[in-house]
Amino acid sequence: MSQPPGPLSQLRRGHEELVLGLLRKHGPLSRGELGKRCGLSRTTLYDILADLVAAGAVVTATQQEAPRGRGRPAETLTLNPDAGQAIGIDFTRRGLHVAAVNLAHEIVGSASEPHAADLPWEGRVELAERLIGSLTGTGSGALRLGALSAIGVGVVGPVEGPEQPEDDEDPPPHPVQLLLHERFGVPVLLDNNTRLAALGEAIWGAAAGGQDVLYLRLSHGVGGGLVVGGSLHRGAYGLSGEFGHITVEPGGARCGCGGTGCLETVASIRAVLDAYRAAGGRADDVPELIKAVQSGDETALWLLDGVGARIGEVLAALCNAIGPSVIVIGGELAATGAPLLDPVERALAEHVMPVSRHRVRLRRATLGEAAGALGGIALVLHESPLLARYPAGPDLAEDPILNQTRTP
């Protein structure tokens, strides 16, 4: 499955996808049944099947209840439940999360590990490889990567892409794409990790089924993602969802983006912990802050009330601009609960236009730290209607990385 790209390998990949799709939809099928449904010539089909079996993507079984009488019992082919088809990796600022799905598109596992914020890409990719190894392992029931078709990756910050799907000009590959491609030999699709988390929540999480969703993540950075009219919104330069850089304090603290007074300077983990300590509180991390909140610490409650109000004002402005039906709040700070979210609700009630303020629902994210990795998988599978018009939609028959590295 790692031949150089070309019309023939693209055709072959298409045939493989066709056969895998039929097995996913119908369950176990005999060679004869597959032949009738796929329309490929017998020689081509047998050829494709031999490769899929060799790769571990498809396994054969002899039918238990073969009809009595003459002839061999029919052999059926089925998807290997231990074969991984797609991996999602979320490279956050201080840690990474991986998740994998098998050929039936069931999530077979996820894993996370924190790391230092200055760990170079080589180290992060090594760590990712180790975590994926923990999902694959060697024991029975371990995931096999012979059938891996692509990796979906989320990274911090804006991700440039073709402005229009038909644009020929692709941006240069990200270093992490090259490194992962080198190790796994499959296409590596890239997007902003918070937007991928929004996608995950809108497909499987707190906003499942929502057509107009606003997602905000309160973590080491503050960012988000938008689903508008049933489509994940990317923006002309991949900049959609940068809610953390909306100004809340003109002339305020300097922000990592180069601006001042952004929401991130008030509502990121570091900003909240710094403000808490400056006000006399003691907490080195979010779990300690949560403990203080739960013990009724007045300073912590007062601080979160102010931060929540700021967040709520920004969200209310966004509501009036976009008109979401659901707002999802995720990230570590969301775990502080009501002391942060109640003032958000109050600000929404106060600042969203009266005609819609009672229709917007505020929810906590449900996928936890795996949301971004799951969004990466959704990007690879490209089955969600939310991605129907998404410009970064992958064409797995073409390998963007190989195509680019071939031209000097």
Q: Which residues are at the interface with Zn ion (CB under 5 A)? A: 245, 255, 257, 259, 262
Closer of 13 and 245 to Zn ion (Cβ): 245
Q: How many other C-beta atoms are found inside a 10 Å radius of the C-beta of residue 192?
A: 26
Closer of 38 and 257 to Zn ion (Cβ): 257
Closer of 152 and 331 to Zn ion (Cβ): 331
Strand pairing class (58-62; 84-92): unpaired
Q: Least CB distance from residue 144 to Zn ion, whole Å?
A: 43
Count CA within 13 A, CB hemisphere, residue 45: 18
Q: Least CB distance from residue 262 to Zn ion, whole Å?
A: 3
Q: Which residues pair with 90 in a beta bridge?
A: 97, 154
Q: How many other C-beta atoms are found inside a 10 Å radius of the C-beta of residue 129?
A: 15
Strand pairing class (231-233; 222-228): antiparallel
One-character DSSP codes across 315-372 = HHHHHHHH--SEEEEESGGGGG-HHHHHHHHHHHHHHS-HHHHTTPEEEE-SSGGGHH
| DSSP code at position 247 | B
Angle of CA points 207, 212, 217, to nearest 5°: 55
Closer of 262 and 289 to Zn ion (Cβ): 262
| DSSP code at position 387 | G
Residue with tokens 């190894």: 133
Evaluate whether 305 touches 339 at the Cβ level (below 8 Å).
yes
Angle of CA points 157, 162, 165, to nearest 5°: 130
Closer of 231 and 260 to Zn ion (Cβ): 260
Q: Least CB distance from residue 268 to Zn ion, whole Å?
A: 10
Angle of CA points 115, 121, 127, to nearest 5°: 50
Q: Least CB distance from residue 261 to Zn ion, whole Å?
A: 8
Q: Least CB distance from residue 155 to Zn ion, whole Å?
A: 17
Q: Least CB distance from residue 229 to Zn ion, whole Å?
A: 28
The closest alpha carbon to 52, from 83, 27, 25, 28, belongs to 83
Closer of 245 and 363 to Zn ion (Cβ): 245
Closer of 76 and 193 to Zn ion (Cβ): 193
Closer of 124 and 195 to Zn ion (Cβ): 195
Q: Least CB distance from residue 137 to Zn ion, whole Å?
A: 42
Q: Least CB distance from residue 267 to Zn ion, whole Å?
A: 11
